[in-house]
Amino acid sequence: MPLLEVKNLRTYYITRAGPVRAVDGVSFFVEKGEVFGLAGESGCGKTTAGLSILRLLPRYGRIVGGEIIFDGVNILEVRESVFRRKYRWKRISMVFQGAMNALNPVFRVGEQIAEAIMLHENVSKEEAMKRVKALFEKVGIEPSRVDNYPHEFSGGMRQRAMIALALACNPELVIADEPTTALDVVIQGQILDLLRKLREELDLSVILITHDLSTIAELCNRVGIMYAGKLVECADVRSIFKDPLHPYTQGLINAIPSITGPKTRLRSIPGAPPDLLNPPRGCRFHPRCPYATEKCRREEPAYIEVRRGHWVACHMVA
Ligand code: SF4
């Protein structure tokens, strides 16, 4: 049984103009100890899917359908007080997007992490601070820096501190939302190495949310490609990069610059993702797809397993 199974998840943002279908019928699973990537352009619903798992949506966000099964329990049916005590942060945690600014500037970094530990576990402040020092060591920060304020940390150190915060209560699943964005390339590499090492040491499962396919290639076992609130393709990383089947995935991969092949112009995907308040009928990718037919404009393609472990939603493939 996978550690996490997301089944037909639908999360909408309720606006005056109508519901924005940010996640619209998404299904995937995460095995114990694997890194599962969720990739796609900005606004495709990746972060909303992650926030739905932690039930941390903004006020106007609603999970309107589907199931999220974690370790055999549909966590959407768990009462908020129980979810807060037993699941959020304790078993499932998150490295938030924009972690660079997520630490409170007026509190010491160590104090902020200790508070998260004390909130979920019955431990004294001394014990919590001891654990924070051990966590700092684990993520590569000198433990004596626990009394520093966020402005005394570099960008890479703040990101490491955010990873320490996510690991504070020994979770089984960590959702890392764009954990390397806004860091320079050298620090990005260090953070990816750290995530890889922690995953192995702690036997963690990770959902890595990113628009950066090279990060996916470096770290993930399997990847789901999202477009306009839907999962359009999902497979192991090797299959996705060697033999992408969905035209959107092919477009994303063609847009990655190669440093070894001949110099060519980068090919971007023409157009922009649709407005999810009024998504196009049929296949949501049809206005940008070079292979679109009348059927694509009319009928939504089913999301089916075309090869063992390889799912695609495209009329051309099915
Ligand atoms: Fe393109 Fe049609 Fe496939 Fe959609 S269903 S990706 S429009 S070929």
The mean predicted confidence, pLDDT, of the chain is 93
What CATH number has the domain bearing residue 295?
3.40.50.300
Look at residue 185 and tell me if it is in a domain.
no
Element (H, E) at 308: none
* pLDDT value, residue 256: 79
Answer yes or no: is the C-beta of 302 below 6 A from any ligand 1 atom. no
How close is the Cα of 241 to the center of ligand 1, in Å? Answer: 19
Longest dimension (CA), the chain: 67
* pLDDT value, residue 100: 66
Look at residue 237 and tell me if it is in a domain.
yes
Look at residue 161 and tell me if it is in a domain.
no
Look at residue 290 and tell me if it is in a domain.
yes
Residues 6+ apart with CB under 8 A from 82: none
Residue closest to 65 by CA, chosen among 13, 12, 28: 12
Total structural domains in the chain?
Answer: 1
Look at residue 135 and tell me if it is in a domain.
no
296 CA: nearest ligand 1 atom? 2
Q: Which residues of the chain have pLDDT under 50?
A: none
Q: What is the DSSP string of 99-153?
A: GGGTS-TTS-HHHHHHHHHHHHS---HHHHHHHHHHHHHHHT--GGGGG--GGGS
Q: What is the pTM of this model?
A: 0.93
* pLDDT value, residue 99: 63
CA 189 – CA 263 distance, rounded (Å): 25
Look at residue 92 and tell me if it is in a domain.
no
How close is the Cα of 246 to the center of ligand 1, in Å? Answer: 8
Residue 61 is part of which domain span? 4-79+223-312
315 CA: nearest ligand 1 atom? 5
For residue 313, give Cα distances in angstroms to 208, 226, 230, 242, 280: 22, 11, 9, 18, 15
